[in-house]
Amino acid sequence: MYFKDDYHKQLADKLMKAFGYGSLQDDKCCGSFSYLAAATYKEDILLESISSNGLLNYKVLMTSMTVFSSSEQAMLRFSAQLYNSAIDNITLEDALRHLDEENKRVLSDALRFRYNI
């Protein structure tokens, strides 16, 4: 998996710990969310949106992301959809439309990881 930098990897690992797992590979749903969402570097908001029982609180995430850029919103919405496909209905096309090449690579790797492709 491609990480944009060390902080991206560290934040993804921190999010997995908040979910109650040790590494990205421990759970494909949480791992793909953590990997893609961490690429936005929104540490405080992301940690706040994971409940103490290790579940994603999408309402907290949605409320917080309204002030983010369109690319950050697309990445967070798509990461939530990788976590649980019933949470959001953002299409791949809509997500990719807002991303630069580096973030497209991260999203692509998240899809490969989540669905073993």
Specify the pLDDT at position 104. Answer: 98
Residue 117 lies in a domain: no
Angle of helix 6-19 relative to helix 28-38, nearest 10 degrees, comes to 140
How much of the chain is helix, strand and coil, in % rounded to 5?
A: 70, 0, 30
**Full residue range of the structural domain in which residue 105 is found:** 6-112
In a domain, 83, yes or no: yes
**29 domain-assigned:** yes
Domain assignment of residue 1, yes or no: no
Cα separation, 1 vs 106, in Å, equals 8
Per residue in 77-112, pLDDT (tens digit) is 999 999 999 999 999 999 999 999 999 999 999 999
The answer to whether position 91 is within a domain reads yes
| Residue 66 belongs to a domain | yes
pTM score of the predicted model: 0.96
Q: Please give the tally of structural domains in the chain.
A: 1
